[in-house]
Amino acid sequence: MVRLLFWIALIAAAFWLWRKFKISQQSHSNARSDRALTMVRCAQCGVHLPDDRALRLGNDWYCSQAHLEKGPGPKQ
């Protein structure tokens, strides 16, 4: 009888820990996606991309390290 109660308690604890882990993973992924992405324009080529993937130098945004090194392109 004690063995049966031990196994039931062990399974219940494992289930509780698994659910707690899944809930924390979901809230963590939701926290990252809560911030709205802003589209920015590369100062060199004019390509639009999300600000989390762009490189910033002063007030200018760039789509790649190569364009950052070239600096701003011709104004259009």
State the SS3 of 15-59.
HHHHHHHHHHHHHHHHHHHCCCCCEEEECCCCCEEECCCCEEECC
pLDDT value of residue 29: 62
Q: Kindly report, residue by residue over 10-49, the tens digit of the pLDDT.
A: 999 999 999 999 888 877 666 555 567 899 999 999 999 9
Name the amino acid, one letter, at 5. Answer: L
Break the chain into its structural domains and give their ranges.
1-35, 37-76
Is 76 in contact with 46 (CB distance < 8 Å)?
A: yes
Average pLDDT for residues 67-75, to the nearest whole number? Answer: 82
Report pTM: 0.52
